[in-house]
Structure 1
Amino acid sequence: MHLFWENLMKNLIKLWTSEFKGMDSGSGEYELEKSVWMAIGEATASSGAIIPSCYGARVPNISADGVYLTAEMISFWTLYIGPALLQRKFHQRRYYDHFIRLVRLLNICLQFEITQDEITFLEEGFVSWVKDYEVLYYQHDPERLPTCPLTIHAVLHTAPSIKDCGPVWCYWAFPMERYCGLIGPAIKSRRFPFASLARHVLDQARLTQIKVFYNVTVELSLVTPRLGPIHGSYESPAYPTCRLLPPKNPDRPAINTLSLLIGALVTRFTVDSNVHGAARVTPGVVKRSLADAHIQEWGKVQRIDSDEGDTMRASEVGKTRDDSRDASFVRYEMYVDIHARQRNVAPEFKLETFYGQLQHIYLVHFNTAHPELNLHEPATTIILAQIKSCKLNSDESIPGLDIHFYSVMGNTNVIDITSVQCVVGRVACGNNRWAIIDRSGSLVRAISQIQDEEEEDLEADE
């Protein structure tokens, strides 16, 4: 924690802002213009409103004098906000590329699992990064030796430490910083701060012993334990991975506002024409069937297939506070026909990733069977999400990082709620450009069922 966030990154920022031990840039050009750094700080602060709270605390204006930055804030800025806002800001691109290489190495360090090949890659990568650091900042000038503190050498020991101790999430828990944050509010006297701290620590120790000795941890907890589902929520056995949460629109949506929903249901209920007895589903048939269906519009959906499932909010339902943080942008997966623009070509579907704003969440419940929709079960529940997609800029990307850019919104899609994977954040980059940041990594990725079935067929043929 202290090696990268409290030392290395703080020193890099000081180098970029001409505040590192009174040194200039020497023969290099790594210093940012003051106005540029101030704009980056303002953009960092404003992005807090469009990054969900589950991503961590708001990062304040890092360019302001005397601003307090925790290690968590610096790490989040380094991994997500910095790569987007520093793009095209240096006079020479090699300084930005050098920073991005560090971010890629740090992302590997933070993986849940690390292979032996990745450890070797880290070891070689940090060696190369330090050598380039010496060229870019130290410049092999003895008078610039202060740019090479001990922490630069310590970077070289990162990979061996992972090899000996395991992935860094096992021990990068910020324990001291968290403990200081817990006892800090206990200071009631500026004249005798340590007396307040000592009394608080003693009281906490006594209370902990009472909880353990009498087994009353739950009874004495100041945080009410959450037992069972949230009041007013909805769960369906057909959707074991998600839970609908209030607010809920008390009125049934008008049928004339459900054209996209009807189109999605037509696609959903249409089966292969070669299937014997299959009904031909049209928009008119779906519209008539919806007249008898129970339709609700919900405001939030939560993933419950893990203990830390994201909660995503529909932007068009309910009200938000002025200080709320936007949790309506999501990542979702859809099958796309790669031959959609070619006539008389059999469809071939490929699973692709999309980003967009969740606008509506529809709960549709058919109380009876509907043979005209190819629904033969006595009751069917369907949960759909209406999402306005982000039109990604294909010519903009950061190699090796899961950061994407967009300027305009694209088409609106209505998909099954299980296709929605997680909530994402955004960073306003100026000039009507936004960067999409996704913290989920490889752990929250849909697996193509079509690909699995093809692999099973190949194994069966062999």
Structure 2
Amino acid sequence: MDTGKEDYQIADHIWAEIGEETTAAIANIPAAFVRVLGNITDDHSNFTAESWSFWIIYLAPTLLRGRFPNAKYHKHLCELVWIMKKTLQFTIRHADIDELEQQIANWVAKYEKYYYQYDESRLPACTLPPWGNLNKEVIYTAYLQQVVLWYDVQEEVSLSIQQDWSQLTTYETVFEDFLPNNDYVLQPPQVMTYEPDHNEQVKVALYIKQLIGGRQTVILAHLPTLMPLWKKVRIKNGRDSISTHSATRTSTKRRNSSYVRYELEYENHINGALRVVQLVQYGRLEKILVCLLSNNTQWLGLTGKTLLLALIRPCQTGGRDATKEETCYSRNLASIITDLQNVKGVVGRVESRGEWAIIDQRSNFAKPAFNGAGYNTDESEVE
């Protein structure tokens, strides 16, 4: 079918580039987000419903931006992404239903205008979703259920494979002295002794100064010269497994899970009132330092405390939230120190034409997922 009165076709050489970018993106997307994505241009056979959903929601807005002869087709695609995210939410307000209904109606009207073009000869453009795979899934699940009931093999045949992420795995450790709320658990490789360089010590001193005040030079002089170093950590409730950059760069075969979302709070005067504002940031987690402060009274409220500090190289994103809008960046800024508790989860990235976009799944909508037996969703999965 040709494009009729419209001009939405993407040239073959551009699709080839999009396919290569799709394949390359997987190295920078945590395995827990999605399985391996093939070349979308010539490898459709390996794309499951999960793959298509992830590609449309998280990759297409970036990979297809500026690719169409007319930007209206990309805008139309992004409107579909908004609808998909909205309809996948676990909860929705009654006030949102009318808006969603209107958005869907508008999207369909545009689709008919752009692709069907009110021409009966173009009816193939108005295809129905293929339900064949879903039908097979239902019938095969029914077969297994009958086998389980007939032969009483509930324990031998598991139809619901779910991992209890509140429990520690064999290789994980939690340090209650450091983390009273047990929100973070340590993953191998375990703690190692580390001597921060002068630049890192200065950043730690600056952070502590922001907490207790005082002179930065005095704080710097009294910091411990050796600090335990964490390389991998998991957020227990969020299930996110994060590898620091220092651990990730030792293997070229592992997915890169060193980019994180972190949130900072600061006070700002809004309409004459002092309010706490939350700033969403993204960056590469370089290292996790364990700073054990002495019992010296100079540390004030931090005397004898242990600080878990994240050394992060921020992405220049202008404070945008990737769960709400496309968030791109072209470079990383100078590293900073913040509390590990400010790190909220791991994020992925996709590169297109020299620019990176953040993939942030920290949202309140359901995510299509493959729950295959024995499937490992740890970020260290070798693809």
Shorter-chain TM-score tier: 0.7 to 0.9
Shift of 1:294: 6.6
Instruction: Determine the structure 1 residue equivalent to 2:217.
Output: 284
2:174 to 229, 234, 237: 234
Shift of 1:349: 5.5
Instruction: Determine the structure 2 residue equivalent to 1:365.
Output: 292
Alignment of 1:89-128 (within 5 A): 89-128=67-106
Aligned residue identity for 1:93: A
Is the partner of 1:358 in helix, strand or coil? strand
Instruction: Determine the structure 2 residue equivalent to 1:190.
Output: none
Instruction: Determine the structure 1 residue equivalent to 2:313.
Output: 388
Tell me, yes or no, if the aligned pair for 1:402 and 1:437 is still in contact at 8 Å: no
Give the TM-score normalised by the residue count of structure 2. Answer: 0.80
Q: What are structure 1's unaligned runs of at least 5 residues?
A: 1-22, 155-173, 183-197, 271-280, 340-345, 444-462
Instruction: Determine the structure 2 residue equivalent to 1:250.
Output: 192
- Alignment deviations for residues 70-102 of structure 1 (CA, whole Å, 9 cap, x no partner): 000000001000111000111111111111111
CA distance in structure 1 between the partners assigned to 2:111 and 2:124 by the alignment: 13
Tell me, yes or no, if the aligned pair for 1:285 and 1:372 is still in contact at 8 Å: no
Alignment identity in percent?
26
Structure that is richer in helix per residue: 1
Tell me, yes or no, if the aligned pair for 1:334 and 1:419 is still in contact at 8 Å: yes
Shift of 1:37: 0.8
Instruction: Decide which structure has the larger Cα Rg and report it.
Output: 1
Tell me, yes or no, if the aligned pair for 1:238 and 1:381 is still in contact at 8 Å: no
The question of 1:353 aligning with 2:353 is answered no
2:358 to 436, 439, 442: 436
Tell me, yes or no, if the aligned pair for 1:331 and 1:421 is still in contact at 8 Å: yes
- Alignment deviations for residues 243-287 of structure 1 (CA, whole Å, 9 cap, x no partner): 2323245333245342212221222222xxxxxxxxxx3233323
What is the CA RMSD across the aligned residues, in angstroms? 3.7
- Alignment deviations for residues 132-177 of structure 1 (CA, whole Å, 9 cap, x no partner): 111101111222122223559x9xxxxxxxxxxxxxxxxxxx6954
CA distance in structure 1 between the partners assigned to 2:171 and 2:217 by the alignment: 37
Instruction: Determine the structure 1 residue equivalent to 2:35.
Output: 57
Q: 1:210 to 1:71 in 2, by over 3 A?
A: closer
CA distance in structure 2 between the partners assigned to 1:225 and 1:332 by the alignment: 21
Q: 1:234 to 1:295 in 2, by over 3 A?
A: farther
Which has the higher relative contact order, 1 or 2, with Cα contacts under 8 A spaced 6 or more apart? 2
Instruction: Determine the structure 1 residue equivalent to 2:251.
Output: 321
Give the TM-score normalised by the residue count of structure 1. Answer: 0.68
1:267 to 203, 207, 210: 210
Shift of 1:44: 0.5
The question of 1:406 aligning with 2:329 is answered yes
Shift of 1:67: 3.5
Shift of 1:392: 2.0
CA distance in structure 2 between the partners assigned to 1:207 and 1:294 by the alignment: 63
